[in-house]
Structure 1
Amino acid sequence: MTKSSSATKKLLKVAGILVLVLVAAGVVANAMGWMDSGENEISVETANAELRTITQIVSASGRIQPETEVIIRPDVSGEIIELNVREGDFIREGDLLLRIKPDIYQARIDELRASLLSQQARMEEARSNMLQSQSEFQKSDQLYQQNLISELEYSQVKNTYEARQANLKAAEYQIQSAQAQLRRAEEELQQTVIRAPRDGTISRLSVEEGERVLGNAQTAGTEMMRIARLNQMEVEVDVNENDIVNVSTDDLVDIEVDAYPNRIFEGRVTEIANSADVSSSGSAEQITNYKVKIRITTPHNLDSGPEDFIVQVTDQETPTRAESPNFKPGMSGTVDIRTNTVVDVVSVPIQAVTVRDFAADAAESDSLESDSTGADTNAGEAMRTNRSSKEEDFRKVVFINNNGVAKRTEVETGISDNTHIQILSGVRDGDEIVTGNYRILSRELQKDDKIKVSNNIQTSES
């Protein structure tokens, strides 16, 4: 009985030791990658490369303004005694806008007319004196030819005649000067009546009747009002220097206006600035933008004038007035400029394209070759140091699922939209591309790694 119990205890001890050995061996094998035939699969997401139409977009924001807006400033100073318009009124070219008190300009005209008459009288006096001197000179000339008067007397008469001729010329020039001053005064009097230079709507009115305004002669002139064609509006946006090279005149644009959410309006690029607007110059936050003007081609502001004034800038069917947007200067908006479009090209999701340093791969490969040939450790370390000191060689790549193996493929890319990027070479339509997740794609996944697809492969019609 005692022998049997002792034998049982020994068997239990041996069994326990075997279990511990097996557990330890399992842990070591798992750590060394000997389990599951050495396969460490990485869970990834995939999608198929497909043929798509890609439109490259440049986004920007800005404000709505009239394409044409005329600022009305007075040429003369004075008090506004008559104001015939209100903000929002539609006016025709030549309509009376306002009058400036003309009293001082009328008084100036009366003064200059009197001065002109005085100058004309002086000219007649100068003419009479000149004619008298001319007669005396002719007589003196005859007497001098007959040696009946001295040369001194002849010279005095001649000089008097020439002086009175000059006085007559001066009087004529003074009359011309007085006439010019009178014309200028009459022009200033006419400028006290200000009329509309073109058809449009009073988009801003800055003065009231009874106010005094300054003319352009003293300063830049008081801004009294603005006239704009509100059914021809545009959006002026700031485009960054990195994107401006892709924008061209006549590019089509999708416009979103904050005042009209969930609506897209059409536009077209009409003007691109050549000079830059630089903010925070000389600092790390320096921003360089270029002004781009975009005409809104969707019919708008159809109530901004009479029917015969409405000018459509698009061939599309005119909407009803209830559907027509009513844009006002200063409204905020964002635009998506369609700079380039390619049709039926191989494309993949943008996140599928990543970069890898091929120089580092070459250094690692050389290191492995050195270790496998049993070369001196110091020599191998020197080679790795030399490789690491070389310039980096980053290239764009995608990973293709090749029967559970991540095949790294170098690619050449084209344009992109918000979700997909064009592949010019390296990928074919239908290839299963690794698309995620971001951490795995950007850092962990390497060529020939074992992968496991954790999503349903998406297939799309081209």
Structure 2
Amino acid sequence: RAGVASLESAVEAAQANLKTSQAELRRNHADFDRATLNWDRAQGLFKDQLISQQEYDTRKAEFESAEASVALAEARVTQSQAELNRSRSNLLQSRANLTRADDFLQKTIYTSPIDGVVTNLPVHVGEQSVPGVQNTPGSFLMTVADMAEVTAEVKVDETDIVNVKMSQPAEVTIDAFPNQTFKGRVTEIGTTALVRSTGRSTAELQTGTQEAKDFKVVITLDNPPGIVRPGLSTTSRVTTATRAKVLAIPIQALTIRRKADIEAAERASKGDKTAKAATVAATPENKDKEEWQGVFVVKDGQARFQKVETGITGVTDIEITGGLDEGQKIVTGSYRVLRELRHLAKVREEKPGEGAPGAPR
């Protein structure tokens, strides 16, 4: 900018010199006109022998001097005009350079498209950054987080993702604030499965995998406090459905049994001699492979398998929509206990404080 100002001063000086040269040219033209008039008059008078030779020579010298002065003044005007043109050209070039420099300067200033907080600054003042070229990314300058909208990215098991829907309410717990719960809503549901052990998308794998998979779910906090910072570890609870005044049982009380096994046990209890054969026939080769979902109900000291229909599933309980009445006692316990329990097997009711596994409930 200082160079442009200097050249602007040079242009002004050249314009002043041009005006001075033009004024001098006008004065010399006036002197030349007067000398021409005197020279013409002297020629006539000298021809009539009315003036001396000396005066004639003086008028002639004055004419020639005035003529030379005009030529010199014209040359100065031409030179001043050339200097002015050169100064203007230099000024235009300097302004173009300034515009180019301003453009480069503007390209060194990056403005974030969002309001937020700088959460990562890998490049500092004085360090060199590399611009991106074609498909090669450049230097990572900074990360700006929009704290007006805080989201939590959580992973949901593949068996539960089908129940998650957009805008469902959720509660988010942040490890850094264990005694606080933040309310939010589901705003994004991933469509690509992530391998739990690696966190990579199944689309990136060349071959299929039988590993457990999760899906990414994004929860937007309703009223994010200022104390929350990006990168904090969170857990969440998404409410996929709610039921009021329903019959529910512990999830571990629910089990699966084959229909053929239940029917064989019923026949055996009635003294049917074909019960053993029926039990043997209940093999993978048997066409009747139907399985029932149900619970073991305690009646007359026996665990009777009872088929049930289920509804929504909670963290520890599951809704029963049919097949079981309120007040009935059921068997609950570990998976090992329920897996080995048979239909019509004898059980005893757990007494308070015993804590025996597999006791009826």
Q: Per-residue CA shift, 1:141-184, capped at 9, x if unaligned?
A: xxxxxxxxxxxxxxxxxxxxxxxxxxxxxxxxxxxxxxxxx998
2:250 to 349, 355, 363: 349
Following superposition, the deviation at residue 454 of structure 1 comes to 2.3
Q: Give the match for residue 268 of structure 1.
A: 185
Instruction: Give the C-alpha shift of residue 222 in structure 1.
Output: 1.9
Do the aligned residues in 1 keep the contact of 2:175 with 2:234 (CA within 8 Å)?
yes
The structure with the greater share of residues assigned to strand is: 1
Secondary structure of the residue aligned to 1:431 is coil
Structure 2 counterpart of 1:432: 329
What secondary structure sits across from 2:289 in the alignment? coil
Would the alpha carbon gap of residues 190 and 423 (structure 1) be closer, same or farther in structure 2, given more than 3 Å must change? Answer: same
- Rounded to whole Å, the distance in 2 between the matches of 1:385 and 1:435 is 28
Provide the C-alpha distance between the structure 2 equivalents of 1:353 and 1:189, rounded to a whole number of angstroms. Answer: 70
Paired residue for 1:446?
Answer: 343
Within 5 Å, give how 1:340-419 maps onto structure 2: 340-363=241-264, 372=273, 386-388=281-283, 389-390=285-286, 391-419=288-316
| Structure 2 residue aligned with 1:220 | 137
Indicate which of 164, 169, 172 corresponds to 1:252. Answer: 169
1:199 corresponds to 2:115: yes
Aligned to 1:339, the other structure's residue is in SS state: coil
Q: Deviations over 1:331-385 (max 9, x none)?
A: 1111121112111111112222222222124356668989649xxxxxx987765
Question: Does the residue aligned with 1:198 lie in a helix, a strand or coil?
Answer: coil
Measured against aligned partners, the alpha-carbon deviations of 1:193-245 in whole angstroms (never above 9, x if no partner) come to 33443322222222222222233456423221222222422111222332221
Determine the structure 2 residue equivalent to 1:230: 147
Aligned partners of 1:231 and 1:300 also within 8 Å: no
8 Å contact from structure 2 (residues 150, 224) kept in 1: no
Distance 2:262 2:108 in 1: 82
Alpha-carbon contact 2:172-2:234 (below 8 Å) kept: yes
**Shift, 1:261, TM fit:** 2.0
Task: Give the corresponding residue for 1:337.
Answer: 238
Q: Deviations over 1:253-311 (max 9, x none)?
A: 1212121123322221111123333548436553433221111224311xxxxxxxxxx
The 5 A counterparts of 1:251-330 are: 251-278=168-195, 279=200, 281=205, 282=207, 284=209, 286-301=211-226, 326-330=227-231
Assess if the C-alpha contact under 8 Å between 2:158 and 2:215 holds in 1: yes
Q: Which amino acid aligns with 1:415?
A: I
Letter in 2 for 1:341: T
Pairing 1:86-125 to 2, within 5 Å after superposition = none
Structure 1 residue 455 displacement after superposition: 2.5
Deviates more, 1:237-246 or 1:326-335: 237-246
Judge conservation of contact 2:260–2:278 (CA < 8 Å) in 1. no
Q: Which runs of 5+ in 2 are unaligned?
A: 4-97, 354-361
Matches within 5 A, 1:140-159: none
CA separation in 1, counterparts of 2:302 and 2:280? Answer: 31
- Judge conservation of contact 1:345–1:423 (CA < 8 Å) in 2: yes
CA distance in 1, matches of 2:299, 2:270: 26
**Matched residue, 2:351:** 455
**Secondary structure in 2 matching 1:327:** coil
TM superposition score normalised by structure 1: 0.46
Q: Distance in 2 between matches of 1:381 and 1:427?
A: 29
Aligned to 1:249, the other structure's residue is in SS state coil
Aligned counterparts of 1:217 and 1:188: Cα–Cα separation in 2: 17
| 1:332 partner amino acid | S
Shift of 1:397: 1.9
Structure 1's unaligned 5+ residue stretches are 1-101, 107-181, 302-325, 374-379, 458-462
Provide closer, same or farther for how the CA distance between residues 350 and 275 of structure 1 changes in structure 2, counting only shifts above 3 A. closer
TM superposition shift of 1:429: 1.8
Secondary structure, aligned partner of 2:247? strand
Distance 1:201 1:234 in 2: 15
> Structure 1 counterpart of 2:232, which letter?
M
Match of 2:320 in 1: 423
Secondary structure of the residue that 2:172 maps to in structure 1? strand
The aligned amino acid for 1:210 is G
User: Percent same amino acid at aligned positions?
Assistant: 34
SS at match of 1:212: coil
Deviation at 1:247, TM superposition (A): 0.9
Give the structure, 1 or 2, with the largest relative contact order (CA under 8 Å, sep 6 or more): 1
Are residues 344 and 426 of structure 1, via their aligned partners in 2, closer, same or farther at CA, if it must alter by over 3 Å? same
Q: Distance in 2 between matches of 1:371 and 1:193?
A: 90
- Rg bigger for which structure? 2
Aligned-pair CA distance for 1:185: 7.8
